[in-house]
Amino acid sequence: MKKITVLILGLLILSGCGLYTDIEAQVEQTTPKITLKSAPDTKIKTSRTDFEWNGATASAEYPAPQDFLNYQTIVQVKNMEKVQIVVQEKVKLGIMEATHLSDMMLSMIPESGEDVTEIPLKDLESGTWQFQVPPKAGKYMYILKEYYGMGFDIGYYVTYYFGLEVTE
């Protein structure tokens, strides 16, 4: 009888290994750490908008750049500054299951809200990316989308936004 009980408990534990019911904790693992290359202690605060994760979906409307940039604490940067983004390359989905970063997209919107521009990211090393701020002074809102998945199965994404004020 004890062997049957141990066997049933073992099967229950193994079948639950891939399950991770706290989706919010999983998504939290994807939060990027954004700093300036010249001042790595300067943290640039991100806000999360939408995500699709383990069957859960949260949709959000992006704020207008004017609204976001006027009501948030925006980090001032010089127009020659480079910004570094550090993201998790591997995110746990459960005790024995994980997914890997497969792609990232960064878009920039000036305060006027016109001319959304895709920004090329330079992959420095595993999990660290870098981009150059625009040479023109002004306030800019950035939208960072992280895609996670294995192979061609990109079933997970999380979107963040943050702002910078470029000075000359």
Given this model, what pLDDT does residue 92 score? 86
Task: Answer yes or no: is 3 within a domain.
Answer: no
Q: Which domain holds residue 56?
A: 32-166
Task: Answer yes or no: is 121 within a domain.
Answer: yes
Mean pLDDT of 125-136: 92
Task: Answer yes or no: is 6 within a domain.
Answer: no
14 dihedral zone (left: phi>0; alpha: psi -120 to 50; beta): alpha
Domains identified in the chain, total number: 1
Contact 157, 26 (CB under 8 A): no
Task: Answer yes or no: is 9 within a domain.
Answer: no
Task: Answer yes or no: is 27 within a domain.
Answer: no
At 108-122, the pLDDT tens digits run: 999 998 889 999 999
At 69-80, the pLDDT tens digits run: 888 889 999 999
Q: What is the CATH number of the domain that holds 133?
A: 2.60.40.1220
Task: Answer yes or no: is 132 within a domain.
Answer: yes
At 80-96, the pLDDT tens digits run: 999 999 999 998 887 78
Task: Answer yes or no: is 43 within a domain.
Answer: yes
Residue 3 has pLDDT above 60, yes or no: no
> Alpha-carbon Rg of the chain, whole angstroms?
20
Task: Answer yes or no: is 10 within a domain.
Answer: no
At 139-166, the pLDDT tens digits run: 999 999 999 986 566 679 999 999 999 9
